[in-house]
Structure 1
Amino acid sequence: MRMMTRLEEARSLDPVSDKLQAAVYAAVKPQFLRDLLHGTWLGHPLHPVLVQVPVGSFISAAILDLLPGKRRSSTVLIAAGTAAVTPAVAAGLLDWSQMTKDRRRVGLVHAAANTVAVGLYTASLVARLRGRNSRGKALGFAGLSVAGLGAYLGGHLSYAQSAGVNQAAPEVVRVPEEWTEVCSLADLPDGRPVVRTVADVRILVYRRGAEVSALIERCGHETGPLGEGEVSGEGADACVTCPWHGSVFRLSDGAVVHGPAASDQPSLRVRVSEGKVSVAQP
């Protein structure tokens, strides 16, 4: 773990990280493509889904390599796994480009390890196709070992550094379960969200006529302040854009409209009674 901490703090990686980040920005410009690769349409990041194909293929090939008479099957699996790497890399790089510097440092080494692994598997495939099966097996096992290191780093990103998770979700449980008054209806401007605090949790409250909605104010992607974001649209279709990374959420229900956020912004129950607005956990 001390090694991982040193990696998170390795500022020497930042020049390479910054250049790669700029290259990813330049390569993926259309918003629909960004949303597709971020997994906005899926409800969670797409990258973990896509990596199942190459990882499953490579592990299955390794098992078959230990059995007699399975040369053709393992070769097909390695070919399939190598081909499936490209979309997984595309989604992973785009997610990585929107992370904080400490996460990007770990992610850079994660990507480097997986690049080496793919290179070994490509060499393994070439060797197998040329009839050099023993060499192909050795390269395949080497690729799986390096891919294991990459997987460890990916796990550290997800579980130790919370990359790719909805970082606003923990705030919901800090909101009281019972109805808690936040303001009067008259204090809320129509069509413009305001920030209120409940039990030290910042809430984004939005009024449209007599209807009121409330979202966790800190963006689920990287905790950006949605209260400082730009509002677009009107009525039930009004949205707020996170000022940090540009995620767009519908104010009426927190639905994610554009990434990099891949999941909805957590919303709260709202009650308007006798001119007073109260919120509670969902």
Structure 2
Amino acid sequence: MLRQMISRLEKASALDAVSDRLQSAVQNVVKPQRLRDVLHGTWLGHPLHPVLVQVPVGAFMSAAVMDALPGQRRAATTLIAVGTASTAPAIAAGLVDWSSLRPDQRRVGLVHAAANSIALGLYVGSLAARFSGRHGWGRVLAYAGLSVAGSGAYLGGHLSYQQGAGVNVASSELFNLPDDWAEVGQVSALPEGRPTVRTIGGVRVLLYRLGDEVTAMVEECGHQRGPLGEGEVEGSGADACIVCPWHGSTFRLRDGAAMHGPATGDQPTLRTRIRNGVLSVATP
């Protein structure tokens, strides 16, 4: 029954009106690329949101333990205050990540955010009750908040592990490539300083020739499988980057390094070998 409910949620297009408006608002508010990269976690090489949520989750879980022990009112109140205050950066990072997802993922993410917002409201109410001396009511609200947050966490897990949000989806393409060297063709046939696409073992590979050196990377963007081969090139030479036409993730062509998000991980690259003017590639 639970799986059926999640499946219906993924297909609940009625949520798209709210989702689209919120997506537009987030993208309009968080416009600077540097800020978006910080919140995505591009600088970290890993999504930042899962890291940030550890603080409020840890604080709220610890507060639940303190509330169950005698004489720990002050400790529980302090922990809830810390958890409530630390939600702000986690929310910001989560919203920026959410705004670059596909529609079915955004539907689940919207309900995930709504559940966490309700949980946060319950914790704020718990703090207010504790500060006014109603500690019993404060404990009730805190445990209710933890229960609702648990539902939100379930949806977050589904979003990440079942729907693949935040996962470098290009990495799995490496398993479809030949284990041994696969011949691509004459290096001279590749344009200088301009990426081109070849299909190897059913996998589209982006090639970039710079002088006598050629870089090969998986052509599907690791963020949401966007076609990098259709993207624009920024810069030139060793600093040239390819920009995904779907969400703007930017990768350096010579080594696949992620320069701008929403992608956080580097684009998977292949080994290259040139013998007698013939290029071959192999898995890392």
Which interval holds the TM-score relative to the shorter structure? over 0.9
Q: How many residues align?
A: 282
Structure 2 unaligned regions, length at least 5: none
Letter of the aligned partner of 1:273 in structure 2?
Answer: R
| Partner of residue 79, structure 2 | 77
Q: Distance in 2 between matches of 1:77 and 1:135?
A: 17
Give the letter aligned to residue 114 of structure 1.
Answer: N
Describe how 1:172-191 pairs up with structure 2 within 5 A: 172-191=174-193
**Distance between the aligned counterparts of 2:19 and 2:257, measured in 1?**
31
TM-fit CA distance, 1:130: 1.2
> Partner of 1:160 in structure 2?
162
Q: Runs of 5+ in structure 1 lacking a partner?
A: none
Structure 1 residue corresponding to 2:124, chosen from 114, 122, 125: 122
Partner of 2:222: 220
Which of 88, 94, 106 is 2:96 aligned to?
Answer: 94
**Structure 1 residue 131: deviation in Å?**
1.1
In structure 2, the partner of 1:103 is 105
SS of match in other structure, 2:269: coil
Aligned to 1:112: 114
Distance 2:264 2:204 in 1: 21
1:276 equivalent in structure 2: 278
**TM-score normalised over the length of structure 2:** 0.99
1:162-216 C-alpha deviation (Å, 9 max, x unpaired): 0000010000121111100112101100000100011000000000000000000
* Counterpart selection for 2:262 from 249, 253, 260: 260
1:174 counterpart letter in structure 2:
N
Task: Indicate the SS of the match to 1:268.
Answer: strand
- Out of 41, 45, 48, which is 2:47 matched to? 45
Q: Which residue of 2 aligns with 1:57?
A: 59
- Cα distance in 2 for partners of 1:236, 1:273 equals 22
C-alpha separation in 2, matches of 1:240 and 1:66: 54
Q: Which runs of 4+ in 1 moved over 6 A?
A: none
Quote the residue 1:12 is aligned against.
Answer: 14
Q: 2:195 aligns to what?
A: 193
Task: Give, in whole Å, the separation in 2 of the partners of 1:277 and 1:113.
Answer: 53
SS at the partner of 1:173?
helix
Q: How do residues 236-255 of structure 1 correspond to structure 2 at under 5 angstroms?
A: 236-255=238-257
Give the superposition deviation at 1:229: 0.4
The letter for the 2-side match of 1:48 is P
Compute the TM-score of the two structures, normalised by the length of structure 1.
0.99
Equivalences for 1:127-146 in 2 at 5 Å?
A: 127-146=129-148
